[in-house]
Amino acid sequence: MKYHSLTNPNHKVSFKEAFLAGIAPDKGLYFPETIPLLSADFLDNIHLLSDHEIAFEVLVPFLGSNVAENDLRKMIEATLTFEFPVVQLKEECFALELFHGPTFAFKDLGARFMAACYRYFYSDSNTRKTTILVATSGDTGGAVADSFKGMAGVNVVILFPSGKVSEIQELQLTTMGENTFALEIDGTFDDCQAFVKTAFLDDDLRFLGLTSANSINIARWLPQMIYYFSCYKQLKLAGKERFIVSVPSGNFGNVSAGLLAKKMGLPIDLFVAATNSNDTIPRFLQSGKYDPESTIETISNAMDVSDPSNSSRMLALYNQDLELLKNDLVAYSFSDASTREAIQELYIEFGYQADPHGAVAYLGLKRALEHQPTAVGCFIETAHPIKFKHYLSNEVSYPSFIVDQINGMSSRKQRSFNCRSYDDVKQFLVSL
Ligand SMILES: *Cc1c(COP(=O)(O)O)cnc(C)c1O
């Protein structure tokens, strides 16, 4: 399988090259040259397969030419160390929980697979020094730091906006230790991103071997298909058919991986992209005009994105035909007030604790089911509710192993470095 840049179809590279570069030299996203079809046999018998076996069948056509089959199996083993349970709330409503990974974030899966790719492609060059530099609004930083923790020759530096991540997210960023470093930036997430961009262009920092672990990297995008297949397997085992899946969306990597899975043959009838007030895609599907506005801060802050980078992948999947895309995807936007109400509703009606991102997806699913009353729906929970527990006004208890893990972090010494300017960031990097 080759990958091409979405802004220049003639620029073609292998998986390894696409993974190492992250983004094409012309700033286009990498995209598979063909979309492989899964066999009817695979889909008919999916209920007999483990998640590891499913992952292998789904990923082998994409990586097979670069990675030996046995090595791919090992990479999958290192990535999938947790499950993706589908939980039933009522007859036609399920939640797919993607937050059972080590940092309670759905981003654990993509970040872990990326780390496995890194280990694989660099195993022969362990003298190389690399610094992974990432800006985070909360979840990315923890997932990336955890995935690369302890890896020889690698340092991970995370920039987070002071006071703008949740208490637990901050603990995750600042207590991981070892080769992971948190820089607390006196500014916004956009400032963090701007510092990262400047650092990549800074000749003085060349020697550090700066690399990003950006969510648009093909190695983070492709494995996200795995849990859509796992979700289908679990719903099928529950005897259901005609499925709608609602995905809380920011950069649209997650939902576009679902659409890629559908193109490979996954029998999900409709996807819902549920957004917060950053509604560029819902407006785009309505009007056909792609018209991003400035980013709005919301309580589902991992989705505060107004110009989603994966839009080009979604359109590429449908040959730039918006009408075709609209057959498979609807998009709705919801306010913070509705999101808060949904968190309460889920708890009061079903005893279900949701975080703000999952609650937005639940609202999207409810809206879609109004139009398709005979379908069965599943919304995706992307972060553990304990990370955002202050949004649930009721006193609730959490599983003891999670509480223990958080207490463990709280008792560790926090380590972070305050930075007010780019020069502070640079000074830190140079001192590494
Ligand atoms: C990153 C993130 C999202 C958005 O996912 P995209 O792939 O960027 O659309 C949703 N929820 C949570 C908790 C996240 O961390």
Q: Which of 85, 178, 99 is nearest to 402 (CA)?
A: 99
How far is C-alpha 336 from the chain's CA centre?
Answer: 21
Tens-digit pLDDT profile for residues 43-91? 999 999 999 999 999 999 999 889 999 999 999 999 999 999 999 999 8
- How many angstroms separate the alpha carbon of residue 302 from the centre of ligand 1? 5
* Nearest CA, atom 14, ligand 1: 302
End-to-end CA distance of the chain: 38
Q: Among this protein's residues, is 240 annotated catalytic? A: no
Tens-digit pLDDT profile for residues 205-263? 988 888 888 889 999 999 999 999 999 999 887 777 789 999 999 999 999 999 999 99
Provide the β-strand partners of residue 36: none
In whole angstroms, what is the distance from residue 311 CA to residue 325 CA? 11
Ligand 1 pocket (Cβ < 6 Å) reads 105, 107, 139, 248-254, 302-303, 357, 382-383
- How many angstroms separate the alpha carbon of residue 227 from the centre of ligand 1? 14
Type of residue numbered 11: H
Q: Is 30 helix (H, G, I), strand (E, B) or coil?
A: strand
Tens-digit pLDDT profile for residues 131-153? 999 999 888 999 999 999 999 88
Side-chain half-sphere of 219: how many Cα atoms within 13 Å? 31
* Dihedral angle, C-alpha 247, 253, 254, 259, nearest 10 °: 90
Exposed (0-12), middle (13-18) or buried (19+): which is 295, by Cβ within 10 Å?
middle
For residue 135, give the H/E element and its range.
strand 130-135
Tens-digit pLDDT profile for residues 87-119? 999 988 999 999 999 999 999 999 999 999 999
